[in-house]
Amino acid sequence: MAKTWSLMIHGGAGELDLVRKHIDAQPYLESLQIILEYGQKILRRGGTALDAVEMCASMLEDNPLFNAGRGAVLNEAGKVELDAAIMDGKSLNAGAVAGITRIANPVQLARLVLVKSKHVLLIGNGALRFAKQHGSKTVSECYFITDKRLEEYNKLHTTMRIKENQKHGTIGAVAMDKRGNLAAATSTGGLVCKSQGRVGDTPIIGAGLYADNKTCAVSTTGHGEMFMCTVLAKHIADLIAFKKLDAASAAKQGINYLKRKVNGRGGVIVIDKYGRCSARFNTRTMVHGWIERSGEIHCKIK
Ligand code: ASP
């Protein structure tokens, strides 16, 4: 059994204009700290990377500060449509869901798809049916909608003049457990005022996340269309596989590639197979935190 473990989480890139909008960073940092402490407990006692990323992603979904689960952004019709995915780096198995309503924790449904379904990605009503068949509880659609999101929707959907830095936000977690197994999870409400039925990168394996014990675990956040067209999470894993880069160089080259190829904006968190952690973004902020190789907890917004 490997001696060390690592954990990283993020709460989205680009959304927070801390200075001009007088946003208090403290609640974000405190939330990251608490969630990392929970993840730490799982990984310290020898729990799996999959359990750790599912738990951390679920806690981020439950927290209305972040654009996933409760507090997710609203689409053009003022409704919530959620996407999530989880991937096991040991088996390369994955589960994903898209266009989800009425499931409080889409990442848990994605895990159910990973474990119980012969498919990788389920959408909309079919996914909801699958959830009910497996005993998942449903919530009312009002559960997800917070005052902050309603206000944002009312302000933006009439003009539809949405700045790039107002669109983003999502959550994700990557981990390496004591056995050296890697896992990644990502969950989102997508882009503010997105078209109905729009699915971004988050539930797309290789774009919004990737995990392979032979290389790394990656979770991305940002303008999803750009991450889909560059298959960015897998691109980063390939940089590690074929160019023998470490997490930091691969994350840096990945974000450079995103910018150069499609002028994309966003961020990534990466843990490589040695447990080295890296966060990289080309937006103003990315809410993120990490524990590298069983060390201290770090939380940052910039
Ligand atoms: N990538 C997500 C999407 O496009 C949003 C985000 O990460 O901010 O749906």
What is the tens place of the pLDDT at every residue in 29-53? 999 999 999 999 999 999 999 999 9
Range of lowest pLDDT (147-156, 229-238, 262-271): 147-156
- Cα-based angle 224, 58, 74 (whole degrees, multiple of 5): 45
124 occurs within a structural domain: yes
Ligand 1 close to Cβ of residue 200 (< 6 A): yes
CA gap 120, 183 in Å, rounded: 15
Q: Determine contact, residues 184/210, Cβ cutoff 8 Å.
A: yes
Atom 7 of ligand 1 has which residue's CA nearest to it?
Answer: 221
Report how far ligand 1's centroid is from the alpha carbon of 191 (Å): 6
Residue 123 inside a domain? The answer is yes
| CATH number for the domain that contains residue 141 | 3.60.20.30
User: With b meaning 16 or more CB within 10 Å and e meaning fewer, what string describes 1-31?
Assistant: eeebbbbbbbbbbbbbeeeeeeeeeeebeeb
Task: Specify if 129 maps to a domain.
Answer: yes
pLDDT tens column, 144-165: 999 999 988 888 877 656 565 5
188 lines ligand 1 (CB under 6 A): yes
Q: Could you tell me if the CB of 222 is within 6 A of ligand 1?
A: yes
Indicate whether 299 pLDDT > 80: yes
Best residue for ligand 1 mutational test, from 82, 97, 221 (most atoms within 8 Å of Cβ): 221
Q: Is there a contact between 199 and 184 (Cβ–Cβ < 8 Å)?
A: no
Q: Domain for residue 1, yes or no?
A: no
Taking the centre of ligand 1 as the mean of its atom positions, its distance from the CA of residue 254, in whole angstroms, is 17
Whether residue 281 is predicted with pLDDT greater than 70 in this model: the reply is yes
Identify which of 242, 241, 232, 297 has the alpha carbon closest to the alpha carbon of residue 269: 232
pLDDT on residue 1? 53
Provide the greatest CA pair distance for the chain.
Answer: 56
**Number of separate helices (H) and strands (E) present in the chain:** 9, 12
The pLDDT of residue 209 is 98
pLDDT confidence tier of residue 15, bands split at 50, 70 and 90: low
Ligand 1 atom with the shortest distance to the CA of 15? 8
In short, whether 187's Cβ falls inside 6 Å of ligand 1 is no
The predicted pLDDT at position 17 comes to 57
Question: What confidence score (pLDDT) does residue 158 get?
Answer: 73
* Domain region containing 133: 6-300
- Does the pLDDT at position 89 exceed 90? yes
Active site residues: 170
Assess contact for 192 and 72: CB atoms under 8 A.
Answer: no
Q: What separation in Å is there between the alpha carbon of 170 and the centre of ligand 1? A: 6
Rounded to the nearest angstrom, the distance between the alpha carbon of 203 and the centre of ligand 1 is 10
Compute, in degrees rounded to 10, the torsion defined by CA atoms 153, 57, 182, 215: 10
Please state the domain count of the chain: 1
Asked whether residue 237 is assigned to any structural domain, the reply reads yes
